[in-house]
Amino acid sequence: MISKTEATRIAAEYLHQISTSCGLDLMLIHDQTLTTEFGWVFVYDSKAFIETSELRHRLAGNAPFIVDMNDGSVHETGTAEPIENYLENYRRSRSRHRT
């Protein structure tokens, strides 16, 4: 079991990898982090958008991601459906793996 502090560190490292691969400066939006029974859901955007709120800097297709509290694993969600659908799918997937 990991703490929220550890999950946030894992999320920051994961986001750094994405940032490096796409060549953009990205930041977690801490006040939008969701706490669930299985872990935390992290949201991010470009640093420029977070600092200026200028829509031209806003990212498209940046799906929230989950850090599982049991093992610290990272799981991407998606953007085609509401986040609730992805979270429910993750809940079901975890249930099947436990039985």
Residue boundaries of the structural domains of the chain: 4-98
Confidence of residue 19 (pLDDT cuts 50, 70, 90): very high
User: What tens digit of pLDDT does each residue of 37-85 get?
Assistant: 999 999 999 999 999 999 999 999 999 999 999 999 999 999 999 999 9
Helix (H, G, I), strand (E, B) or coil at 52: helix
3-class state of residue 10 by DSSP: helix
**Global model pTM greater than 0.85:** yes
Which residue type does 1 have?
A: M
Contact 72, 2 (CB under 8 A): yes
